[in-house]
Chains A and B, each alone.
Chain A
Amino acid sequence: DTGVSQDPRHKITKRGQNVTFRCDPISEHNRLYWYRQTLGQGPEFLTYFQNEAQLEKSRLLSDRFSAERPKGSFSTLEIQRTEQGDSAMYLCASSLKGVSHNSPLHFGNGTRLTVT
């Protein structure tokens, strides 16, 4: 069990540029989640996948955001035309099935995005 891995750890970009983050969940986990965490706040749900299907998107996820999990394994989160308000830590998490008492979320280290 190598855990949930995210790449890159840090990303600095200029406003207006596109960025893409990658998440590799724990291998046997079929559910994958993206959360966003801003300074002084707890993580906020963005979207989740069951296998390759994206089943829910938060209203926080504007049209500039898109997430994919094409083969039901790794996932990418792309932000187009970045804005300074997009600066945050983007956390990926996975679980074996539906999150429950016995199937908690396992988080990655996150990707810290800074938009200048």
Chain B
Amino acid sequence: AQTVTQSQPEMSVQEAETVTLSCTYDTSESDYYLFWYKQPPSRQMILVIRQEAYKQQNATENRFSVNFQKAAKSFSLKISDSQLGDAAMYFCAYLRKSGGSNYKLTFGKGTLLTVNP
């Protein structure tokens, strides 16, 4: 079974600074998808960034980028120039690409990010 581990229950960053959130996962698959979702307080889960495992190039979306290390099964999220609106719970998620379970995201427990003004 796939598992996703986020080892940092909470992180904080100063506004305008950079922060990196960690995520590791366990899988025997060679091809899969990885996602970071953001869940602001009392608001809906929003997709931040996505990565296909067979693509070696790290995904980037504006201030958000990932460091995907396939051999190490690591998928960290870097937020540059942090803004107050980035404060949220961040979830790392894994999706098996094929087979009978390719509809089921497996989420980590989340990292609560605080942005200090």
Contacts and interface: CB of A to CB of B under 8 A. Distances in A.
Interface in A6-61: 31, 33, 40-45, 48, 55-56
B108 A42 contact: yes
Contacts of B102: 98-100
B109 A107 contact: no
Contacts of A71: none
A105 interface: yes
Most buried by A among B46, B95, B108: B95
B108 A109 contact: no
A108 B45 CA distance: 7
Contacts of A56: 103-104
Interface string A99-116: 111001111111000000
B105 A99 contact: yes
A44 to B, nearest CB: 7
B84 interface: no
A91 interface: yes
A43 B107 contact: yes
A42 B43 contact: no
Contact of B45 (A44, A99, A107): A107
Contacts of A48: 103-104
Contact of B47 (A40, A44, A104): A104
A42 B4 contact: yes
B105 A110 contact: no
Contact of B50 (A4, A42, A104, A106): A104
B52 interface: yes
B68 interface: no
Most buried by B among A42, A99, A108, A110: A42
Interface of B: 4, 33, 35, 37, 43-47, 50-52, 91, 93, 95, 97, 102-110
17 contacts: A33-B103, A41-B109, A42-B107, A45-B105, A48-B104, A93-B45, A100-B95, A100-B102, A101-B51, A104-B35, A104-B47, A105-B105, A107-B44, A107-B45, A107-B46, A109-B43, A109-B44
